[in-house]
Structure 1
């Protein structure tokens, strides 16, 4: 049977937050289970068990020594904190927004094929109000923007529903209203995040009515910023 991915529960998330407040997000932090237990208002045994669970989930890395342990939050642990942060932004911030910066790069050519499929194109016209250029505008994000990308969770996307034809099923995609900024500003545009993608969090795809490379006179390696905001 396939392995079931364990869920980070509320106690684990609270422990992860305390570790971040102690500095484990920026690098290795030395601590004892008793000190962590005091911050959590729990027993030393409970603190030790939660650390072990976070380790097993891949949220932290630990190096146990004679007088305590060195703990550092992993990239997966940071993403979980970022997701929680995005949820709170949705609750308390009326005007959610995020700016993502990177450099223009060439895509793999898949965008051209999927953007033009009739099941997607009809929804783009209806829900976005335009027919996208046949292809995506691709950006490799900076390290800082990779971290900020999780803030997209605070913004309600336009949902492009999945569909199927006689040959296969196509998954949904989520479109976030955006302005592309280089020497000039361009809108309307949308960051598109397909549910199924070969790209990682370091890569951003944007769709727009025009070929953005031509309109903004951009080439591979040019820096660009994408401002995403609730509309």
Structure 2
């Protein structure tokens, strides 16, 4: 069985998705024949068809049957999977670069205050981030370009936060990315993007933590635009 890679895809599925993208599937619907795709994958027509079916079932591409074949386009989830793979190759072959994400301040569901203050997380924040976060997160709704660029986040500098448990339950792991938060030329650091391994947030939602209440520090109201500059990774 093929090992899962970007976005939960197998290597074989990711390769098929890449070929659809090379045919133009990222920008619109393109004709794809299973026999032609099979030749490029060095696989049978039936195998190529199964790969497309699996990608469609997983939400990575859309297919439309037409009289002379099928039209295929890559979905947002498919693009994110490709961008995640691209971020891995960037680490191998490119010099590190800073990532900037932009979006607007929004009101969250209030869960951050509870989780940020839990002792199993708080101890790790203090020792690994160097500060005790304000009890709550600043929620950002990313713009369209930043939703796509977010796929590069795993290639940036990061700090792991381990899972832990108490007498009642297990609490999931997370990853923190060092960042500088900027609004109208005013910048604040240290801050971190926090990405839980398990989250109900969509890709357009981002959470920030800092040792202060960022809303007060930067005079923020809902709907105001922010830039988040994510520290580049240091490759050895």
Equivalent residue, structure 2, for 1:97: 98
- Tell me which residue corresponds to 1:25: 26
Following superposition, the deviation at residue 38 of structure 1 comes to 4.8
**1:64 equivalent in structure 2:** 65
User: 1:222 corresponds to which residue?
Assistant: 224
CA separation in 2, counterparts of 1:50 and 1:181?
Answer: 44
CA contact (8 A) 1:55 1:61 kept: yes
Which runs of no fewer than 5 residues in structure 2 stay unpaired? 1-6
Deviation at 1:136, TM superposition (A): 0.6
Question: Corresponding residue for 2:4?
Answer: none
TM-score (norm: length of structure 2) = 0.87
Instruction: Select between 54-63 and 129-138 the one with higher mean Cα deviation.
Output: 54-63
Quick check: 1:32–1:67 contact (8 Å CA) kept in 2? no
* Pairing 1:209–2:211 present: yes
Tell whether the 8 Å contact from 1:90 to 1:96 is kept in structure 2 after alignment: no
User: For the residues of structure 1 that align with 2:136 and 2:17, how far apart are their CA atoms?
Assistant: 40
**Residues in 2 aligned to 1:169 and 1:33: alpha-carbon distance in whole angstroms:** 45
Relative distance call for 1:117 and 1:45 in structure 2 (3 A) is closer
Cα distance in 2 for partners of 1:43, 1:168 equals 48
How many residues are paired up?
Answer: 226
Unpaired segments of 5 or more residues in structure 1?
1-5
* Distance change in 2, residues 1:219/1:47 (3 Å): same
Could you say which residue in structure 2 is the equivalent of 1:115?
A: 116
Q: Which residue of 2 aligns with 1:144?
A: 145
Please state how far the C-alpha of 1:7 moved relative to its aligned partner. Answer: 5.4
**Aligned equivalents of 2:162, 2:41: Cα separation in 1:** 42
- Cα gap change, 1:133 to 1:74, in 2 (>3 Å): same
* Kept after mapping to 2: 8 A contact 1:160/1:174: yes
In 1: Cα distance, 2:97 partner to 2:131 partner: 24
Superposed CA deviations along residues 197-225 of structure 1, whole A, max 9, x for unmatched, are: 22121110001111111111111000001
Where does residue 130 of structure 2 map in the other structure?
A: 129
Cα RMSD between the aligned structures? 2.0
Match of 2:191 in 1: 189
